[in-house]
């Protein structure tokens, strides 16, 4: 397994320019570049991020842009056009995976046939532009079209393209059989997003959900079991920190120590 952090995970306290050297210092393997760090970025800026990662011995393992397919109409057209930029940026960074999630929250229960058609057609267009060298990773996520493993499987089947895969995210299945869902989706999994929450619910000072370390015994998710399962399956992709405790810079050190220890 390889270990990385997405710049989304620390955006409240660190810029990507601060994150990259910190990951190098802590001997992470890679960095995932959040879409907001690439919005309106010039080609020079994109190459600057790649050069910074290269200087620290980090691979840009993925990008995580936002897409706008579900509403259809003019938004769909502009959303598909934006895919060209997303693909060009991923390639310039040397990434192999682009995360798929919609810019607006819309649970699958609120989607009608027209919305589903727009979603699937948009993903087909994206996957076509991504061929042959980029993977489109459908991120497991609440309140989006892909908010159940059944929907994710259906989406992959309807898209019908070999470069559409899954980003497994255990925190999307709080209180559910996460290992069972991993088993259900594993044949498609190419990337994993990580984050934990304390059993005592609450909000952080900035209004976001409270987070805790992956190995925290008071955390909701049993990451010891999840990592054991991934190791047993021979998973060799990236495990990417996304939900990070409030003391983010220090938490990054604890998380890489935990992940390397638990998978050794």
Chain segment 154-204, per-residue pLDDT in tens: 999 999 999 999 999 999 999 899 999 999 999 999 999 999 999 887 777
The predicted model scores a pTM of 0.96
Confidence (pLDDT) at 7: 98
Are the C-beta atoms of 248 and 9 separated by less than 8 Å? yes
What pLDDT is stored for residue 239 in this prediction? 98
- 2-263 is classed in which CATH architecture? Alpha-Beta Barrel (3.20)
The rounded distance, in Å, linking the Cα atoms of 22 and 27 is 9
Residues in the chain: 264
**In the chain, where are the structural domains located?**
2-263
What pLDDT score was predicted for residue 201? 73
pLDDT for 169: 97
**Residues 6+ away with beta carbon under 8 Å from 171:** 193, 194, 195, 196, 197, 221, 243
pLDDT beneath 70: ranges in the chain: none
pLDDT at position 203, please? 76
């Amino acid at each position: 397994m390889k270990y990385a952090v997405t710049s989304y995970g620390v955006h409240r306290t660190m810029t990507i320019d601060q994150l990259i050297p910190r990951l190098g210092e802590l001997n992470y393997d890679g960095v995932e570049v959040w879409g907001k760090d690439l919005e309106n970025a010039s080609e020079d800026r994109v190459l600057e991020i790649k050069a910074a990662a290269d200087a620290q011995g980090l691979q840009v393992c993925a990008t995580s842009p936002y897409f706008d397919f579900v509403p259809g109409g003019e938004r769909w057209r502009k959303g598909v056009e934006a895919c060209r930029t997303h693909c060009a940026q991923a390639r310039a960074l040397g990434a192999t995976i682009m995360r798929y999630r919609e810019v607006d929250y819309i649970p699958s229960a609120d989607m009608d046939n027209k919305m589903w058609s727009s979603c699937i057609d948009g993903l087909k267009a994206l996957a076509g532009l991504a061929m042959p060298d980029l993977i489109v990773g459908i991120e497991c996520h609440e309140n989006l079209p892909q908010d159940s493993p059944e929907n994710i499987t259906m989406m992959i089947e309807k898209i019908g393209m070999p470069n559409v895969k899954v980003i497994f995210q255990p925190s999307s299945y709080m209180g559910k059989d996460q290992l069972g869902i991993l088993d259900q989706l594993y044949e498609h999994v190419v990337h994993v997003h990580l984050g934990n929450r304390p059993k005592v619910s609450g909000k952080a000072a900035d209004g976001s959900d409270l987070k805790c370390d992956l190995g925290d015994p008071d955390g909701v998710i049993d990451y010891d079991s999840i990592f054991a399962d991934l190791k047993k399956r021979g998973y060799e992709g990236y495990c990417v920190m996304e939900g990070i405790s409030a003391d983010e810079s220090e938490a990054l050190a604890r998380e890489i120590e935990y992940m390397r220890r638990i998978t050794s």
